[in-house]
A and B are shown apart, each in its own frame.
Chain A
Amino acid sequence: MAEPEFENRLSRLFAETPAFADADRFARRVETRLDRTWALRRALIGIAGLGGGLVAAGQMLGAPLIDRVTGFSEASLTNVSRGARALGGLRFVADLPVGAEVMWTAAGLAVLAVVLVAARAIEEV
């Protein structure tokens, strides 16, 4: 049999779907796992939301905590600005019109990005 003809025949044979007696049971198992994954995801989002809410509430009620965090943020920002000035070449960083909140948000996003990249890399390996 000529090569292309044989390969076509082989592809047709591979395309034939074998019949499985438990096909329905298999589909139900996938649906169950899908439901479980979604339920877990919803629970995690709920827990994260609750946690965030509690932290926010705690911050609102405990003003000293806010002051401490703000003070710490400002101190960090000052240190970053001082470091950037010391480096000379990075003067523009120190001159950026950003506050402590922006710095913390940027840092948080950077950490999130690193976690996402690491997760993706682990998945690829």
Chain B
Amino acid sequence: MAATPRDLAGLHDLELANLSSAGGRAAFGELVRRHGSAVRGLLRRMGADASTADDLAQDAFLAAFERISEFRGEGSFAAWVKRIAARLCAKRWRRAARRALAEDGPGIDPPPPADADARIDLDEALRALTPAERMCVSLCHGAGFSHAEAAEALNTPLGTIKSHVKRGLDKLRERLAAEGGQTERQANG
């Protein structure tokens, strides 16, 4: 008998992945329901606009379904699918703005203001970064890539990645510290 959505909702990600591996599309749908927002959020933080982020997220989930048997539960499913999505986004970035990383110019249009329901401090702070810094910081801190993996994904020298990450982190530290101070003042006042 086929599992009902309620049955699926009670299963662990790994169990759902095993069911998906046997062709269970409903089980995979439950995984998409659970982790879709995390993947879409990451892609927007990487600098993709809303519709591009959604397209990439869909592609990432379809790719994840194709190789679901490779997921063995060593890490979380969310982290696994985020890496797939981040690679797709990096590939798109590489094609669209090959020169932007080297020149540190605006290769992709800056993203529009975030939806009200997706807004948190980090999204605001990321807006202060150049597209290249944003991409590198999100790859390394949002998708869990090492600097070397980011360099490979973006086809960019390791040193360039490191400097983008460092400059991005410096800006984020400054922005997040300022926002933290403001919040504290509001709470006290």
* Cβ-Cβ contact count across A and B, 8 Å cutoff: 87
- How many positions in chain A have a CB within 8 Å of any CB in the partner chain? 26
Instruction: Label chain B's interface by main secondary structure.
Output: helix
Tell me which residues across on chain B come within 8 A of A35, comparing CB atoms: 25
Question: Quick check: is A55 within 8 A (CB to CB) of the other chain?
Answer: no
Contact A20:B25 (CB < 8 A) given known A9-B176, A26-B32, A30-B62: no
Contact A20:B115 (CB < 8 A) given known A14-B141, A29-B58, A31-B25: yes
**Closest A residue by C-beta to B45:** A14
Contact A26:B141 (CB < 8 A) given known A1-B177, A18-B117: no
- How many positions in chain B have a CB within 8 Å of any CB in the partner chain? 36
Tell me which residues across on chain A come within 8 A of B28, comparing CB atoms: 31, 34
Contact of A18 among B120, B138, B169 (CB under 8 A): B120
Question: Quick check: is B122 within 8 A (CB to CB) of the other chain?
Answer: yes
Contact A13:B118 (CB < 8 A) given known A7-B141, A7-B169, A18-B37: no
Cβ of B48 to closest chain A Cβ, rounded Å: 14
Contact of B36 among A9, A16, A30 (CB under 8 A): A30
Docked CA distance A29–B33 (Å): 11
Residues of B within 8 A of A (CB): 25, 28-29, 32-33, 36-38, 40-42, 44-45, 54, 57-58, 61-62, 65, 115, 117-123, 137-138, 141-142, 169, 172-173, 176-177
Residues of A within 8 A of B (CB): 1, 6-7, 9-11, 13-14, 16-21, 23-24, 26-27, 29-31, 33-35, 37-38
